[in-house]
Amino acid sequence: MAKITSGCTGSSSISTSVTAFNWLAANETAGTIANWSQGFNDPGCANPTINTSLENSIIAAHNKGIIVVVAAGNDSCNTANYSPTRISQAFVVGATNNQLISSGKDAKASFSRTGTNISAFAPGESVALLNYNGTSVINSGTSFSSPYIAGIFAVACQAAGTLCNTATNATTLYDALRNTGVIGTVTNTNGTPLTGATSRFIVQQW
């Protein structure tokens, strides 16, 4: 396990991410899992930021079989307009809350980005966490949804024998996990059928 942030601040430049993904592509084996919970925020959804260097480094890692799980973003915008959530080589994760859980549904968190290229949703609002010094905290964001899925990938790969570490690229692994997702359990924030994204919620099954 490694991280690319500076100390416990959570800050890291995009160029550092590019270096990290290119290193993974050059040095790591198929089935390695990377979680990227850093993004470009644009609350107005105007003039979205595109960074082809970042995207190309993720594509290179993906093409080596590296599983790249990416937080969708927290400004309610469309993931299709942003780097790196617009590329299919990233497994993009949106956030849900538990306000409708009594009816068997998970509602999209109001802040979560949407978009048909979101691969799955996972809990991301009012999530119980430990901070850097071990204190219990409650926090929200797709940055907390993405690690859920990265962890499920880890458990699934362990259960799948050689499937992950013999993959020629990560797409087959993405599809395998998507196929375990439950369709129709994620709604819009107000409980109506989800629009703008696939209603796929992935839970640990292994």
pLDDT for 101 equals 84
| Cβ contact 183:193 at 8 Å | no
Q: What is the pLDDT of residues 79-118, one digit of tens each?
A: 999 999 999 999 999 999 988 888 888 999 999 999 999 9
pLDDT for 92 equals 97
**CA dist., res. 47 & res. 150, Å (int):** 30
Q: What is the pLDDT of residues 107-135, one digit of tens each?
A: 999 999 999 999 999 999 999 988 888 99
Q: What is the DSSP code (8-state) at residue 165? A: G
pLDDT for 25 equals 97
pLDDT for 195 equals 94
* pLDDT greater than 70 at residue 190: yes
Task: Dihedral sign for Cα 114, 16, 69, 104, please.
Answer: negative
**CA dist., res. 36 & res. 87, Å (int):** 14
pLDDT for 49 equals 81
Q: What is the pLDDT of residues 29-67, one digit of tens each?
A: 999 999 999 866 666 688 788 999 999 999 999 999 999
Q: What is the pLDDT of residues 11-22, one digit of tens each?
A: 678 899 999 999
DSSP string, 49-104: ---HHHHHHHHHHHHTT-EEEEE--SSS-BGGGSTTTTSTTSEEEEEEESTTGGGT
pLDDT for 117 equals 93
pLDDT for 132 equals 81
With CA atoms as reference, report the closest residue to 98 among 122, 70, 73.
122
Alpha-carbon Rg for the chain, nearest whole angstrom, is: 16
pLDDT for 40 equals 63
Beta bridge partners of 97: 107
Q: What is the mean pLDDT of residues 142-161?
A: 94
**CA dist., res. 173 & res. 189, Å (int):** 29
Confidence of residue 7 (pLDDT cuts 50, 70, 90): low
28-201: CATH class: alpha beta
Q: What is the mean pLDDT of residues 23-27?
A: 97
Task: Name, in order, each residue with C-beta under 8 angstroms of 179's C-beta and a sequence gap of 6 or more.
Answer: none
